[in-house]
Amino acid sequence: MDEGTWGRTPIEPQSVNAPLSTAAVFLTVTIAEGVDAARRAREVISDVGGLIRAVGFRDLGGHLSCNVGISADAWDRFEQSSRPRQLRRFSEIRGPVHSAVSTPGDLFFHIRAERADMCFELERLLLDRLGRDITVVDEVHGFRYFDSRDLLGFVDGTENPTGFAVSESSLIGEEDADFFGGSYVIVQKYLHDLAGWDLLTTEQQERAIGRRKADNVELDRGPDERQSHRSLNTIVDANGVEHGILRDNMPFGTPGRGEFGTYFIGYARELWVIEQMLRRMFLGEPVGQYDRILDFSTAMTGATFFVPSMVVLEALAPE
């Protein structure tokens, strides 16, 4: 959707490049067994635009949006004649110390808005429509934390692409023409050991992240220094071309339960780019020198989905 129309109408569903929001819901569900349940899921998600308009038009300044993701297993149940080329299950990564787990999920809903009540209302209506044909397996309510910082205290998302590069890095092109305008997304829920993290000095934290904490400026890495979180997440191919992704991470937490976390969500034109980032984080580069923030951040979930364009999503409606 053109940025100029965001103030005039609700944001079109499947707008991967919609503005960063102050509130979000990350909802993962599984679909019950049987043909009827799969067809009901197709019916609901193909008409998600109607629900977004019903809620979003009540306050256009709320900028409500929703992206629907479909897993490889769910796609195979949806009776389609073709399949996104790179769609596959999330594969567990067992590192020398930490692991990226793979967890269940058939459908994923990324709901964003400037108002938490709008996210709540759209989620409520979606779950009401889906009814007993789905089971919620993960639900996270995220919020913007001061100047876009995570709960570790650092600005998150600095390396997101801008301008033309947003679509170039996040949306499928003519290389898979049947699914042009779609996107691959990987999601992970991380829980933080803030007490342990806070025992580190600011300099130790900055070296682990690869940026200064106060002003967000990149730090140069010494020739013999271990790679930082930032450098491990920089993917350059054999031809020297850097490949980016679009992140829309958000903090979440419940202080009364001692729960503090970051919900990682990365959209990409090429799924292998995010997969390579995660391998470098959990295995290390070189192997063994894993991402140091994993000593304080544990991946609790991991799943891969395909976010179709609105045209493809609407075509999923059962005849």
Would you please indicate which residues are annotated as catalytic (active-site) residues? Answer: 156
H helix runs in the chain, sequence order:
35-46, 48-56, 72-77, 116-130, 164-170, 194-198, 202-209, 229-232, 271-283, 310-314
- Check residue 149 and report its DSSP letter: B
Torsion over CA of 56, 57, 58 and 59, rounded to 10 degrees?
70
Tokens of 88: 């596959």
d(CA 68, CA 307): 6
* Residue 139, beta-bridge partner list: 27
Distance of CA 116 to the CA centre of its chain: 18
Any idea which residue has 């034109």 for tokens? 269
Q: Which two tokens stand for residue 168?
A: 């170039």
Among 314, 283, 316, 309, smallest CA distance to 15 is for: 309
Hey, which residues does 66 pair with through a beta bridge? 111
